[in-house]
Amino acid sequence: MVQHPKSSETIYERVRVIHELCCVKPLPSLSFWEQQWLKNADIVIIGSGIVGLQSARHLKLQWPHREVWVIDRAPVSLGASTRNAGFACFGSIGEILDDIERTDEQTAYSLYEMRFRGLQQLLADFGETGIGYEKTGGYEIFNHNDATEFDKIAQNIDRVNDALSGITGEKPFQLRNAAKLGMQVLENGVYTPLEGMVQSHLLYKKVYDAAVASGVRIMGGLTALSPEKLDSGKWRVATHEGYTFDAQTLVVCTNGYAASLLPELQVQPARGQVLVTSAIPGLAWRGLMHADKGYIYFRSLGTRILIGGGRNLDFEGETTQELNTTEGITQYLLQYLREVVVPGESFEVTHQWAGTMGMHQNRTPIVKRLDDGLYACVRMGGMGVALSALVSRELALLVKAG
Ligand SMILES: Cc1cc2nc3c(=O)[nH]c(=O)nc-3n(C[C@H](O)[C@H](O)[C@H](O)COP(=O)(O)OP(=O)(O)OC[C@H]3O[C@@H](n4cnc5c(N)ncnc54)[C@H](O)[C@@H]3O)c2cc1C
């Protein structure tokens, strides 16, 4: 019998109410000492996701004597980094062909390369074990009514493999029989041995600890308002809670929330909804699965399944920063599980949540100098785990170049 908990909504509501209560409480005037302490930041980064924290660490390593602060609206990051699905992936072939149609071959392959090299860098920085990395490989699977989609992929697979083999050192995509997965899908599937999974909480912990160890200061519970340039050339960031930071360098790493602070940035928030099932003892497969051009994704979590997606059911409604889950997408994901993934198995939903991605039509990240001392490293799309180690280094070099 499939059930999904109402309790997660209740907890979410409770957290929101507490947050609002805290935020409206007026702050007592800051002491002389508090003002000195906060004014002493050379570099301020807004957003403590994996991109903000890695950027902060690289900046601190670059300039050990500068004070580097990261502020975040939540006690622990509250966007995508702690709410994702833990795929260490670069794009299924269906997604790549989709990207080529939206943009061009060069852009699509460059994006794949950034993610591929980014994951190698992430593993080099934090190690496989510490972030729970397992190179499980992954499948792209096709529903019975997706035969045309599969045919398109089969016609293009050699061309895409030829273009990407120089980056990966081997053919990234192989046509493979998917029948052994025991799902209600076409026998024809596409396998990639290259991708794997991480445990997102372990990755976040490693990234957080490394930032702290480098000397970065992290403060949660401060919601930044739009930055203001001072006559001194510094950037002032006031927060909703009444604190003010004046910094020589300001870096915005708020991903899907970036346009709220800097409306000139072309970043759309995109809600991603996820749920986790109870253990399914007979689960016949382990690894990552992509379906419907990446709009459905699921993975094994021990003998549980984590599934997310369905944004394409209501693009407009899912272009939101709200973090609640919706009945329509929940039922869609459950139906997919019941009819396609584990037909006949009984399970419950034990966890359910939503996160916010930062999106754009061409799916490329923004790593940019916006003004003297003002930078953005945002719009990580749906595969920011792999991108994060690369873009954060790029950001630090950009700041160094001035
Ligand atoms: C449901 C879901 C599943 C995903 N699955 C995967 C996956 O399997 N693999 C993968 O590679 N990627 C996945 N992603 C994408 C990936 O998680 C992101 O690309 C990546 O985490 C982005 O990191 P970030 O640091 O740029 O942004 P975030 O992690 O979103 O961090 C931004 C931070 O900014 C803070 N913030 C926002 N506004 C303000 C403000 N005004 N003041 C202060 N702080 C503020 C937020 O609280 C947040 O902590 C998924 C995303 C979602 C939502």
State if residue 252 touches ligand 1 by the CB under 6 angstroms criterion. Answer: no
188 DSSP β-pair partners: 177
Residue 378 Cα to ligand 1 midpoint, Å, equals 9
State if residue 84 touches ligand 1 by the CB under 6 angstroms criterion. Answer: yes
pLDDT at 262: 97
On the question of a common fold for 23-82+201-266+363-401 and 131-197+267-359, the answer reads no
Reduced DSSP (H G I as helix, E B as strand, rest coil) percent helix, strand, coil of the chain, to 5: 40, 25, 35
Nearest CA to ligand 1 atom 50: 84
Nearest CA to ligand 1 atom 35: 47
pLDDT over threshold 60, residue 234 = yes
Residue 379 Cα to ligand 1 midpoint, Å, equals 9
pLDDT over threshold 80, residue 365 = yes
State if residue 267 touches ligand 1 by the CB under 6 angstroms criterion. Answer: no
Q: What does the pLDDT look like over 297-344, one tens digit per residue?
A: 999 999 999 999 999 999 999 999 999 999 999 999 999 999 999 999
pLDDT at 8: 42
pLDDT over threshold 80, residue 57 = yes
pLDDT-derived band at 29 (thresholds 50, 70, 90) equals confident
Q: What does the pLDDT look like over 307-319, one tens digit per residue?
A: 999 999 999 999 9
State if residue 294 touches ligand 1 by the CB under 6 angstroms criterion. Answer: no
Kindly list the distances between the CA atom of residue 190 and the CA atoms of 44, 140, 151, 253, 257, in Å, as whole numbers in the listed order: 44, 5, 11, 35, 35
pLDDT over threshold 60, residue 174 = yes
Q: What does the pLDDT look like over 107-165, one tens digit per residue?
A: 999 999 999 999 999 999 999 999 999 999 999 999 999 999 999 999 999 999 999 99
Average of per-residue pLDDT across 185-210 = 98
pLDDT-derived band at 6 (thresholds 50, 70, 90) equals very low
pLDDT-derived band at 16 (thresholds 50, 70, 90) equals low
pLDDT at 27: 72
- In CATH, 131-197+267-359 is 3.40.50.2300: no
pLDDT at 363: 86
Residue 231 Cα to ligand 1 midpoint, Å, equals 33
pLDDT at 9: 43
Residue 25 Cα to ligand 1 midpoint, Å, equals 28
pLDDT-derived band at 24 (thresholds 50, 70, 90) equals low
pLDDT at 12: 46
Q: Which is the closest atom of ligand 1 to the Cα of 48?
A: 49
CA atoms within 13 A on the CB side of 95: 24
State if residue 392 touches ligand 1 by the CB under 6 angstroms criterion. Answer: no
pLDDT at 14: 47
Q: According to CATH, what is the number of the domain 23-82+201-266+363-401?
A: 3.50.50.60
Cβ atoms of residues 355 and 323 within 8 Å: yes
Nearest CA to ligand 1 atom 49: 77
- Annotated domain spans of the chain: 23-82+201-266+363-401, 131-197+267-359
Q: How does DSSP assign 246-272, residue by residue?
A: EESEEEE--GGGHHHH-TTS--EEEEE
Q: What percent of the chain has pLDDT over 70?
A: 94
According to DSSP, residue 134 is labeled: B
Mean pLDDT over the full length of the chain: 93
State if residue 276 touches ligand 1 by the CB under 6 angstroms criterion. Answer: no
Q: What is the pTM assigned to this prediction?
A: 0.94
| Chain CA centroid to CA 193, Å | 22
pLDDT at 26: 64
pLDDT at 20: 58
Q: How does DSSP assign 315-384, residue by residue?
A: HHHHSS------HHHHHHHHHHIIIIISTT----EEEEEEEEEEE-TT---EEEEEETTEEEEE--TT-H
Nearest CA to ligand 1 atom 32: 254
Q: How does DSSP assign 76-89, residue by residue?
A: S--SSTTTS--EE-
